[in-house]
Amino acid sequence: MKQFTYTITDALGIHARPAGLLVKKAAEFKSTVTVDNGVKKGDAKKIMSLMMMAVKQGHNVTFTIEGEDEDAAAAALEAFMKENL
């Protein structure tokens, strides 16, 4: 299992567009990707679940990645978050 925490800097939080991109990124890997902002948990491979978390700017979001390609997935997702959110 791999974990990392990221603080959202995007002014709109995880809104529709980045949520869509994040789902695409997570879907590239076999591992399960769970997102937790301390209030709700969501599945990074499901856009509605992600959007319903209503992640805002300044939220600390913890990613938990589990599966055979977890190392690569964690690195790619962390880079994605830094780049886009």
Strands in 60-66's sheet, in edge-to-edge order, are 2-7, 60-66, 32-36, 41-43
Contact 75, 4 (CB under 8 A): no
Contact 46, 77 (CB under 8 A): no
CA-closest candidate to residue 33, choices 56, 61, 59: 61
Residue in 5, 7, 30, 68 binding another protein, rule: CB under 8 A: 7
Nearer to another protein, 4 or 46 (CB): 46
Is residue 5 at the binding interface for another protein, with CB under 8 A as the rule?
no
Q: Is 15 a catalytic residue?
A: yes
- Binding to another protein (CB under 8 A) within 37-76 occurs at 43, 45-49, 51-52, 54, 56-58
Residues that bind another protein (CB under 8 A): 7, 9, 11-12, 15-17, 19-20, 23-24, 43, 45-49, 51-52, 54, 56-58, 82
